[in-house]
């Protein structure tokens, strides 16, 4: 961490990004980053390439998921957190990922994320539908989008 940088609520994301430079903050951690959940994950959820070696940092605790192809590269934003470039999935991509990984995180979390996303200012249905197509969950999400819109 650069001298004079303030520790923020996203400090663990900066630490995780330093330890896993190719990792992308995703799923529950990205939901918390984008303020799309009431959950506060005790691990940093990070996506890595399917062929990458699993990192074994001592801190912070990580939950590793593997993304490949466009699912790994689409909708990734870089944010400066405490002077560290941290890659985080976009709001729309995070919601689509939640539906893709609904068996891991729970459908209730995915639906809550969608509800919060749809209620936010500056949301984009085009971005959400594009992310759903990339994650191959458009058919799964469609009834939830229709009932919440």
List, as one string, the DSSP characters of 57-82. -SSS-EEEEEE-HHHHHTTEEEEEET
d(Cα 104, Cα 86) in Å, to the nearest integer? 24
Tens digits of per-residue pLDDT, 28-75? 999 999 999 888 889 999 999 999 999 988 889 999 999 999 999 999
pLDDT for 121 = 87
Predicted TM-score (pTM) of this structure:
0.93
Class of residue 36 by CB neighbours under 10 A (exposed 0-12, middle 13-18, buried 19+): buried
As a whole number, the mean pLDDT across the chain is: 93
pLDDT tier at 2, thresholds 50, 70, 90: low
Tell me if residue 87 falls in helix, strand or coil.
strand
CA 78, distance to chain mean position in Å, is: 12
Q: What is the pLDDT of residue 5?
A: 60
Please tell me what DSSP assigns to residue 5: P
Tokens linked to 13: 């994301």
Quick: pLDDT tens for 101-110. Answer: 999 999 999 9
Where are the chain's structural domains? 11-148
Measured over the CA atoms of residue 135, residue 141, residue 146 and residue 149, the dihedral's sign is: negative
Q: Is the pLDDT of residue 7 over 90?
A: no
CA atoms within 13 A on the CB side of 105: 30
Question: What is the predicted pLDDT for the residue at 6?
Answer: 74
């Amino acid at each position: 961490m650069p001298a004079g940088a303030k520790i923020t609520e996203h400090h663990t994301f900066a630490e995780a990004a330093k330890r896993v430079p190719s990792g992308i903050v995703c799923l529950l951690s990205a939901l918390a980053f984008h303020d799309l959940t009431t959950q506060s994950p005790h691990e940093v959820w990070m996506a890595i390439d399917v062929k990458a070696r699993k990192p074994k940092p001592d801190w912070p605790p990580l939950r590793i998921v593997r993304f490949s192809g466009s699912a790994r590269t689409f909708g990734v934003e870089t944010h400066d957190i405490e002077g560290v470039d941290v890659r985080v999935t976009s709001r729309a991509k995070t919601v689509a990922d939640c539906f893709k990984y609904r068996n891991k995180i729970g459908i209730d979390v995915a639906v809550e994320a969608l509800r919060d996303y749809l209620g936010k200012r500056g949301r984009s249905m085009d971005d959400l539908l594009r992310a759903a197509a990339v994650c191959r969950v458009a058919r799964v999400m469609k009834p939830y989008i229709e009932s919440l819109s």
